Each structure stands twice: as structure tokens, then as C-alpha cells.
Amino acid sequence: MKVIATLLFLFCFSVTFTALPQSFKDTRNKAFEIYEGHELTFYCGCSYARKGNRGILNLESCGYEVRKNVKRASKIEWEHVVPAWELGHKLPCWKEGTDMTDTNGRENCKKDSEFWSMYTNLHNLVPAIGEVNGDRSNFPFAILEEVSNYGECDVEIKYLGGQDFPRGKVEPPEGARGAIGRIYLYMLDKYKFDLDIEQQNLFRKWNELYPVTDWECERDRRIAKEQGEHNKFVKEKCPN
């Protein structure tokens, strides 16, 4: 009996271990595969074509206007909807990294299995125009009274001065709010990171206010097939 129990333990450990990607490049390739047939950026709805490990953008398809960074605006980046900073900055590995002169918190935490599991979770990754990803940084989401920073792509950013966090806030387009809410609620439920009550209430509101889309349901099915786990906040709203 002990032999069987040991074998079962080793099998489960092996499955868990091999399920985690060995590099973020592997994760990025899986993310491209998840989005096959739905090559649209998350916030702006801009079309892109995959070319090897890159996504080549058609900015005209969504009326996108470059704010400043032409280079990053020309490529797809896989954005963490819940930023890596929000997931990891209170972990010991993050502080150790920021205390070193030759690394930083994120890079140091990539060696930590707890952080790596969060960092490579496909449910939290979406294709974004690189400039939008960079400008969003680790800013929290909010409802703002600003104008779009990117032409017809209705992403609004308000920069705040004189403080460490938040240095700014971001209002996403209405079409992305429901998915954002459900991604945040899933990640919070799974990883129990710190998130203030105001943010939690906002994401619960968005989850209820904005219905799940057909693509959200399909994306969830594809990710569950790859990772072995659904986002329950999406799945419970999808047709059986």
C-alpha cells in the first residue's frame, strides 16, 4: 500500500512539475496558440499576424494612434492583466532582487516556483499593443474622466505625481472590462495576493455588469485543456 501511495505522489508531483513551462518563451508560444483564429489585441481590438515568435500588428485596423513609442507600438506583447508587480512585490524573492545591484524583483522571483506559477498562468495573459502594455505598467484599473491616449483605441491613462504607488490609473474600454474583472477575481481566488476592497468591488461589479463573450468561453476552454484548470468566474457563465 505504501508503494502505491508513493508512486501516486511521485506521479502527481511529476505532472505538476512538467505542467509549468520552462521559460516565458514557452508560455508566449502557448499563448499565441490559444489565440489562433482570434488574432485581436485585448484592449484595442487591433488585428495582428503571427510571424514566428512575434505578432505583427495592423494598427490601422483599430484606428490606433501611436502616443510616443513607435517601436513598442509595432509589436504584440503578452500583458499580465494582474501585473507581475502586484502578484510578486511582497514575496521575499522580490525584496531580495530589489536589494541586489545586478538584478531586480521580477527577475529574481522567476526562480521561485510560487511566483513562476502565477507569472506563467495563461488565464492572466492577453495580447496587447506593446506601447499600451508599457504605458499601463502596474497601474490599477479605474473609471476616469480622461480622453483616449491612442486615437480610436479607447484606453485612458491618468498619471499621478509624487507617490510610489499608484503612479497612475487606467480606464480600459468597456469591451474589456468584464474579462478584466473575471481574470482578477480568478487570480485573487487562486493566489490570495493583496488587493484593496475598492478594486475588488470594481471587478465584482464589472463581472456582473458585462456579460461573458463567446470568445471568453472559448479561450477558457482552450486554456483549461492546456493547464488543466478553468477560470470558474468565466466557466460558470458559459453555456454548457
Per-residue pLDDT averaged across 71-93, rounded?
96
Number of folded domains that form the chain = 1
State the pLDDT at residue 131: 97
Q: Is residue 6 included in any domain, yes or no? A: no
Q: Is the pLDDT of residue 4 over 70?
A: no
Residue 7 lies in a domain: no
Q: Is residue 52 assigned to a domain?
A: yes
Q: Judge whether residue 12 has pLDDT over 70.
A: no
- What is the band of 161 on the pLDDT scale with cuts at 50, 70, 90? confident
Classify residue 38: in a domain, yes or no: yes
CB-based burial label for 25 (10 Å; 0-12, 13-18, 19+): exposed
pLDDT given at position 36: 97
Range of the domain at 143: 22-235
Would you state the pLDDT for residue 14? 40
User: What pLDDT is recorded for position 15?
Assistant: 40
* Digit-coded pLDDT (tens) for 98-117: 998 788 999 999 999 999 99
Q: Residue 51 falls within a domain, yes or no?
A: yes
Per-residue confidence (pLDDT) for residue 53, from 0 to 100: 87
The structure's pTM equals 0.90
Of the chain, the percentage scoring pLDDT greater than 90 comes to 84
Regarding predicted confidence, which is higher, 61 or 102?
Answer: 61
Is residue 89 a part of any domain in this protein? yes
Report the pLDDT value the prediction gives residue 107, as an integer from 0 to 100: 94
14: in domain: no
For position 101, what pLDDT does the model report?
79
Residue 3 counted as domain residue: no
